[in-house]
Amino acid sequence: MTIPKPLSLSILATLLFTQSSRAQVSVKMHTLTGYEDYESFAYAACEKLQVVLNSTRFKNAVRQGSFTRTNGLTSQKIWEKIMNAHEVQGPGGKDSVVDLHARIITIEQDGTRWINNCKPGSWAGTIGIDGRGDGVTAICREKLKKFYDTKDTASLAGHYMHEYMHMLGFSHPGFRKSRSAVYKIGYIARDIIRQGI
């Protein structure tokens, strides 16, 4: 079967367009504190997150998404801000690099309230602690273990994406079902990995 010329040309044009419009961002985990046996799992999540961020599916999902707590930006501008990767919280780093730092929540650093919130079945259902301006993403040990045990790289990557949105200056109300850009874009990243990138 021969493909009509205009069609083959349009396929070529689509391929070229896809290549040239692929803004490249990389994900770098600079420090992992207290992760112990879970370090390679965390790096694997970062690798997946990098693929997601550079994917057309992510681009389309964000650009077509509708969010609250947008800091006055359109969905297109939010996507551009993510791809620009200029952190406003924490130590920052290079633009076009998603600069991450992560640690485990500890009783010494975070106190008993957070340790209790981390307990499975707690009312708070805490996964991690929002950046709090220091740019270091903190996660409950129990949650990290659960993600690891269930090979759920997608949820860990989604957690990093959520926290990264905070580092870009976005916030959310204190409940998980919010339509905020922080929550929804964290879930977009997670779901793209779950569905297979």
Dump the DSSP string for 119-135: STT-SS---EE--TTTT
Q: Would you call 109 exposed, middle or buried from its count of C-beta atoms within 10 A (0-12, 13-18, 19+)?
A: middle
Stretch that binds Zn ion, among 29-37, 40-48, 124-132, 147-155 (CB under 5 A): 124-132
Q: How far is CA 64 from each of CA 19, 61, 188, rounded to the nearest angstrom?
A: 21, 5, 12
The three-state secondary structure class of 113 is helix
- The residue sitting closest to Zn ion, measured at its beta carbon, is 130
Q: How far is the CB of 118 from Zn ion (least distance, A)?
A: 15
The reply to whether 134 sits near Zn ion by the rule CB under 5 A is no
CA–CA distance, 88 with 152 (Å, rounded to integer): 29
Question: Among 130, 134, 142, 191, which residue sits at the site for Zn ion (rule: CB under 5 A)?
Answer: 130
Site pattern 76..115 for Zn ion (x: CB under 5 A): ----------------------------------------
Stretch that binds Zn ion, among 36-44, 63-71, 75-83, 126-134 (CB under 5 A): 126-134
The binding site for Zn ion (CB under 5 A) comprises: 130
